[in-house]
Amino acid sequence: QGQLVESGGGLVQAGGSLRLSCVASGRTFVGYAVGWFRQAPGKEREFVARISWTGGATYYADSVKGRFTISRDNAKNTAYLQMNSLKSADTAVYYCAAAKRSGPSSAVTVTDFGSWGQGTQVTVSS
């Protein structure tokens, strides 16, 4: 089945930037949309961004639109989340996942995705 492995999290001051990476381990996500989610303490996991299997289409939660950019490099089986202008409200564990169905996707819910990684902690200090 394989899974995705996230990295790149850390502690950053408000207004700063981080770039998260998501590498497929034991599987490929070529042909599948990839999503980023996050979960803050005491809250449900929420959708952040999605990129199509070709990389040609992206979709963002309103809370990150204009600040975050999702991208992918299928040759490296890797997806990225560039996060700029970070706020304390962005503090969470960030997860990437692959859509359960291949091809075009409008997936935005947790149940639409599989092969979840362990997550990477992002902490934004104010």
Which pLDDT band, with edges at 50, 70 and 90, does 1 fall under?
Answer: low
pLDDT tens digits, 9-51: 999 999 999 999 999 988 778 899 999 999 999 999 999 999 9
Separation CA 109–CA 7 (nearest Å): 22
- Beta-bridge mates of residue 72: 79
3-state class of 51 per DSSP? strand
Q: 10-13 and 120-125: which strand pairing?
A: parallel
